[in-house]
Amino acid sequence: MAFCGTVSTWGQAPDDRTNGGVGRILLVLPFDNRSGQPSLEWIREAAAEILSSRFASAGFAPMSRADRLYALDHLGLPQGFQPSRASSLKLAETLDADSIVVGNYLTDGTGIVAEARLVDVPHLRMGEPVTERGEMKDLIAVFDRLAWKLTRQLDPAFTGTEETFVAAGAGLRLDAFEQYIRGITEPDQAERLRHLNQAVRLSPEFGPAWMALGREDYNGQQYEQAAAAFAKAGHDDPDTLGPDALEAGFYRGLSLTFSGDYAQAETAFANVARVLPLAEVVNDQGVALSRQGRDGIALFRQAVAADPNAADYHLNLAVSLKRHGNVAEALAELGQCLRLRPGDSEADALEKAWKEPAAQPAAGAAPSANAEAKADPLERIARDFDAVVFRQAAQMIDQLDAAHLAALTPLERAQTLTTQAKDYLNRGLLLEAERLYLAAVATDGSVAEAHTGLAEVRERAGDGAGARTEAQAALALAPSADAHVVLGRLDMAASQLSEADKEAAAALNLDPNSRAAQELRRQIEAREGQKK
């Protein structure tokens, strides 16, 4: 059995539209702990998590940890298995991976040294080792830089910068990340909860920790807490996010359903269905609608059409049709349910009850206890989430989007990529934004907004020279308040306040309502006041 998936990233990667190496399926194995210190064992999984996250942001398709663990179980191997080269290749073949990343780490005084190699699975070829070192407190940056070097090996044409890789992980506290890793690897549930709660307390914006916490709360039937955690894990617009945010939305809908908040559950399912209208999603949206006393027939029909071999969807449609007076079609759907699942005792009893003449109570008499016992059941909830199916469906949508892009003119394609990149930039996803901006510039370099966006990415990544180059390139193409603001902030950082003020004035002249320009002017005036 082959699996397809992406890691639970710290910011979901957009679909692959750039560079020759994207779309390659990677398996990042936990690194070998050669430090001799059991207290650093957590770094094994941390290395795989960081590298997989960066590879996903760069446009590759790293396998998820869940897929890796499933494959180990499939091969009869324990979760903590230290694979040899032969067993790594077997694992990669099981997961249908194109490349494996293997590595190790050791301590060097107060520092850490990490080494990794790429294994080309189809050609059974191992690449040259790449090494990175740094202080232990900068562990995330060490593995970010290692990820950049490996990305350049995977795709020599990759043009993303090392600074952006490092900036992508700069906002995450190391202690929060350690607690998260311990929370997803600890065998004891109470300990997992303790570590994950600590992770989100230390870093409230760290989505994967909220996602893991939501799963733990959901499995423990703490549905209100789970719904809150899933909301924070997938708080962004699902239209622009990948499978993990959609999974969070689906489980949030389930958690709200089980806690009785059907209106919010309906909204959660609807948000997911707008992106991926899979059968289980629209079915559960129909259940949430029905529990509010509204008509869910259209959604149950959609679920049946999407998966006609699922008996529960036929039963749900039957119950809803019967409730709205369409007995003949309800019986037909119930019959289809029983054909698919002959041993369904509830459906069998329901069919018999619906076919029997209804006993009419005397006028004014209350329904008998027997009649109440024969009341139609509630529609069934689809509780099983198949993450692989979600990811495959998301990839199909990405392929459709890529086909749509390919049909556009170069200018239209560059403009579309620029708009999508801006969405990622607004959410602080620098690697994703950089990749799409670079693709836009490579497609048609005349789009000023793409250069402006790259300037902002470079500025946030600490590459002042690169930011200035891109901002000036944008202004050479068209007037841009945002480009002037970038130049102004760079000037202010260099203590060139008069130059910064000129850029702020130019930006406000182009867009008097620009908040960024107004904030720049305020900061300049504050600095000048301090000097006086």
Q: Where are the beta strands (DSSP E) in 14-152?
A: 25-28, 32-33, 61-62, 99-108, 111-120, 125-126, 130-135
Res. 105: pLDDT tops 90:
yes
Angle between helices 262-275 and 279-290 (to 10 degrees): 150
Query: Is the domain of 399 the same as that of 437?
Result: no
- The pLDDT of residue 25: 83
Distance of CA 512 to the CA centre of its chain: 37
Confidence of residue 23 (pLDDT cuts 50, 70, 90): low
pLDDT the model gives residue 84: 65
Residues 424 and 472 in one domain: yes
Same domain flag for 459 and 506: yes
The domain boundary, picked from 150, 169, 188, lies at: 169
- The predicted-structure confidence for 323-351, as pLDDT tens digits, reads as follows 999 999 999 999 999 999 999 999 999 99
Whether 483 and 387 map to the same domain: the answer is no
Residue 237: the pLDDT is 46
Please give the share of the chain, as a percent, with pLDDT higher than 70. 85
Residues 6+ apart with CB under 8 A from 482: 452, 456, 474, 507, 514, 516
Domain co-membership, 396 together with 451 = no
pLDDT for residue 284 is more than 50 = yes
Q: How many CB atoms lie within 10 A of CB 362?
A: 6
**What is the total residue count of the chain?**
532
When the pLDDT of each residue in the chain is averaged and rounded to a whole number, the result is 86
The pLDDT score that the predictor gives to residue 13 is: 37
Closest CA to 56 of 151, 153, 125, 194: 151
Confidence of residue 440 (pLDDT cuts 50, 70, 90): very high
Residue 323 forms part of a structural domain: yes
Check: CB of residue 13 under 8 Å from CB of residue 432.
yes
Q: What is the pLDDT of residue 395?
A: 66
- Residue 219 burial class via C-beta count within 10 angstroms: exposed 0-12, middle 13-18, buried 19 and up: exposed
Q: Would 32 be classed as within a structural domain?
A: yes
Tell me, yes or no, whether 261 lies in a domain.
Answer: no
* Residue type at position 46: A
Please give the pLDDT value at position 83: 63
* 532 contact partners, CB below 8 Å, separation of at least 6: none
Asked if 392 and 292 sit in the same domain, the reply is: yes
Confidence of residue 314 (pLDDT cuts 50, 70, 90): very high
Q: What per-residue confidence (pLDDT) applies to 249?
A: 92
pLDDT digits (tens, 9 = 90+) for 137-159: 999 999 999 999 999 999 999 99
CATH of the domain at 55: 3.40.50.10610
Residue 192 included in any domain: no
170 and 139 Cβ atoms separated by less than 8 Å: no
What tokens were used for 499?
Answer: 């130059």
> Between 481-493 and 515-531, two packed helices, what is the crossing angle to 10 degrees?
20
Please check whether residue 158 is in contact with residue 58, taking contact to mean a CB–CB distance below 8 angstroms. yes
With 50 as the cut, is the pLDDT of residue 371 above it? no
Mean pLDDT lowest for which of 115-129, 156-170, 255-269? 115-129
> Domain span at residue 86?
25-169
Measured CA to CA, the distance from residue 115 to residue 104 in angstroms comes to: 5
In a domain, 196, yes or no: no
Q: How is residue 109 written in tokens?
A: 């005084």
Residue pair 406/395 in contact by the 8 Å Cβ criterion = no
Q: How confident is the model at residue 359 (pLDDT cuts 50, 70, 90)?
A: very low
CA distances from 279 to 129, 273, 311, 454 (A): 46, 9, 12, 40
Any domain includes 525: yes
What does the pLDDT look like over 182-235, one tens digit per residue? 999 999 999 999 999 999 999 999 999 999 999 999 999 999 999 999 999 865
Mean pLDDT is lowest, of 150-159, 237-246, 267-276, 398-407, for 237-246
Expressed in percent and rounded to 5, the helix, strand and coil fractions of the chain are 65, 5, 30
Give tens-digit pLDDT for 30-63. Answer: 999 999 999 999 999 999 999 999 998 998 888 8
Question: Is residue 53 located within the same domain as residue 73?
Answer: yes
CB 328 within 8 A of CB 351: no
Reported as half-sphere exposure (CB side, CA atoms, 13 A), residue 377 has a value of 17
CA 179 to chain centre: 20
Tens digits of residue pLDDT in 66-99? 878 877 777 776 666 666 666 677 777 776 788 8
The secondary structure of 202-237, three-state, reads: HCCCCHHHHHHHHHHHHHCCCHHHHHHHHHHHCCCC
Which two structure tokens, joined as six digits, stand for 14? 């957009």
User: For the chain, what is the domain count?
Assistant: 3
Regarding predicted confidence, which is higher, 2 or 155?
155
Q: Give the closest residue to 226 by CA, choosing from 214, 208, 234.
A: 214
Residues 389 and 318 in one domain: yes
Between 514 and 4, the higher pLDDT residue: 514
pLDDT > 90 in the chain, percent: 68
* 329 and 435 both lie in a single domain: no
pLDDT of residue 9: 35
Regarding whether 513 and 461 lie in a shared domain, the answer is: yes
Q: Are residues 420 and 333 in the same domain?
A: no
Question: Rounded to an integer, what distance in angstroms lies between the CA atom of residue 132 and that of residue 149?
Answer: 9
Whether 420 is covered by a domain: the verdict is yes
Count Cα neighbours of 367 within 13 Å in the Cβ-side half-sphere. Answer: 9
Residue 357 confidence (pLDDT): 64
* DSSP string for 384-428: ---HHHHHHHHHHHHHHHHHHHHTS-HHHHHHHHHHHHHHHHHTT
Check residue 7 and give its pLDDT: 32
Contact by Cβ (8 Å): 517, 487: no
- Residue 532 clears pLDDT 80, i.e. is over it: no
Contact 230, 210 (CB under 8 A): yes
Are 282 and 342 in the same domain?
yes
- 489-501 tens-digit pLDDT: 999 999 999 999 9
CA dihedral of 372, 374, 376, 382, whole degrees rounded to 10: 110
Domain boundary among 116, 136, 169: 169
Domain CATH for 315: 1.25.40.10
Q: CA 8, CA 11: separation in Å to the nearest integer?
A: 8
Residue 400 and residue 257 in contact, taking contact as beta carbons nearer than 8 Å: no
- Whole-number Cα distances in Å, 190 to 182, 196, 284: 12, 10, 30
Q: Is residue 201 part of a domain?
A: no
